[in-house]
A and B are shown apart, each in its own frame.
Chain A
């Protein structure tokens, strides 16, 4: 059966989740009740003041539904794993070996190459549609492309991260240009987070957080340890492998979504609270719009040149996890990061 990585987001304040018979029931603060379709749900994201009964948690553990809990400030506080199912010590040992600093470079390179190629794709798309004559852009695209050669020759992780940094700044340089609505309010002053200092960064951070959650689910569903990464090094509390897996998808999934929501006017400047200190928060209504857009995005199909299949995003993610596991277990000689075409 296909892993669809369907995620249910429960964010309504003062709501509760309880078991009623064999189904999970959501009760909203106003007393309204909703039965949740557990059959197709792979994970549950709970945010803020939501009451969850222990029987719901037991049900999720038993049925392999990942539960993540986020604070109202979007920090992941805990997650509940899929019990012991799928835990595979052999794969973990291989992962441990392969993620050691002296062995991590090949996969780290693949991740960065995937990321760069996908960023390149986004800029090309933008150029084709809106900026055919922009000499500066054309030049930067070719600079970005050049970084690929350096990546291939990188001798260590630090050098690799340097090239990644260069391409990222070339890529983000055009982010404001790609926004074509409310340009005065939707303007990013570089990448900043925790707290985000402008609306665009607030949307990006929220999107990356949601993607991060899905990547943890992806990594765990193939029996890998989300904390042991290649490009991102060990840090307690950080799911480095999930961050690694995000890299090839950031521009394709979240950046595209943010730009689309703004350009279609689905999210407007009024959808944010701006503190006197300058930090920016997304209002609840806009979060819902964002998540709906995210779910729509997941239904899109992408052609995967390596497997030769057209895959919906959740299935594609699962395939990437499988490919990484196959590499670790010696079935393929490298990790083919996903490149959009």
Chain B
């Protein structure tokens, strides 16, 4: 027995600081570790944020904006399991671990860079920690009774992240390429606030992943092995079953792709940024404003729709969208506001997404029609 015990201690010592990596570990719901590293999904090793074996990075056609943070998204599933394809939602196997690491490119003076170009974010063998500042990593793990969301906040030394169910607030200085800088408070949502976005059915309160769905994932990604459609790749590595012909898979567009019609870009942007709340079952269904990708009714989409309980968020404007007049439209007011009592989305940003706001501005400016009474 003594021998066994010492053996265990020795084994632990060996893996303690630098050693071959342990497998991804799915901890029980009631016994989640305090440290992110214990999941062995993404870990800071030798100055790099590295992905474990079979941890697959992915990105989205249009992503949800979070204060210009860059995001390293990964998915891992237990060996021999796969997600079942669904047009709106995949049925992920129990044990799936999805991670999203929020970080910023570092400026020379230690502040962080403001850039809305995420195309160079290829994870490959990892992120060099001398070039980025890691803020938080959110873990979504699928249990047999549903998803669990866990917010981990990176320490200043960037060696590990610690579970902070109460969330956190960090002061950051964001520097633009033109040298201008602004300070802001990056807020890490608390455990309940995770559900604020991820429980897109407010009645069932069940948490679901927002990004990794067919229409968001249906795009190419540059893997170490080369460029490939993400869904095909997932199928190839065994993470996805039942994938139909790609031509039959829905696809949101990249909101920055100027080759695509403005309306389509705007709808994709609204879908990922707003649709998780503003859908017929979401927490924002109280407003009667529906912004998910499949909404066809113009009034529900906001055209000439008066507010219900917007309060300060109305910005003294009368309709969510006034065709041709973004300066009279509540939607524009709310996405351009940083007042927590007025801005949209309510959580996850302290800054205005200038590029997104501009897109919505142009879309509404070019919209035909008017709201005059008839």
Partners in one complex: no
State the B residues within 8 Å of A (CB).
none
